[in-house]
Amino acid sequence: MKGYVCQSHFCFNSYLVGWCLLIIGCNRSIGIQLSSRNLSLHVVARYFYGSCANNYESMSEIAIHEGDLAPDFSFSDFKGNKTSLYEMRGRRVVLYFYPKDFTPGCSTEATEFARDHELFKAKKIDILGISPDNEQSHAKFREKMNIPYHLVPDTDFTISKKYAVYGPKNFMGKEYLGVSRTTFLVDENGVILKIFKKVKPLGHSSEVLREFK
């Protein structure tokens, strides 16, 4: 499977290296013999940028579908013990990915899941919220929003990439890499039953409850 491994700052710096090497006259020899002293600036820059761009393009498409086995990952429980999604087999699980603690949309989504937590619990459904925030941020967020379920830190986007929710986003015409608000419903056997993409926070908890029959 494919995922995003090329960070934008690395790509940018690699492109600049190509320009700088040409400017200081290194176009004659860069570890390989260039056949033409008149090699264009575009070609040299592309030489250095190419590997990064190719990685980005080749890793930009990842497939995960309803009916697939949910990718496993580890996290710490409330007692600080390591556990994993695999160890939750036998119970249904809501995995909801969100961009950032304390933001309006994410706060609305968390509030609703917290409000309905007992309803999920009665149906033997566990909830896991996942975002790029660290443990300290999650602890403060849980306290402020009275969240009774786990929030999983994904600071290096490892889990987000496994679930294909990390990638290009656009806000007010500016493109950047980030986590898309997405929810996965996982059954007792670890199979993805339903994927909610481009989630609207308001009313989402009720939407998920209706989907779990």
* Catalytic option among 6, 11, 26, 106: 106
The pairing of beta strand 92-97 with beta strand 125-131: parallel
The pair of three-digit structure tokens given for residue 33, joined into one six-digit string: 């013999």
Residue 151 β-bridge partners: 129
Backbone angles phi and psi of 206, in degrees to 5: -65, -35
106 is catalytic: yes
In the chain, which ranges are continuous DSSP H helix?
A: 8-23, 41-58, 104-115, 117-122, 135-145, 158-162, 204-211
CA distance 119 to 179: 27
Active-site positions read 106
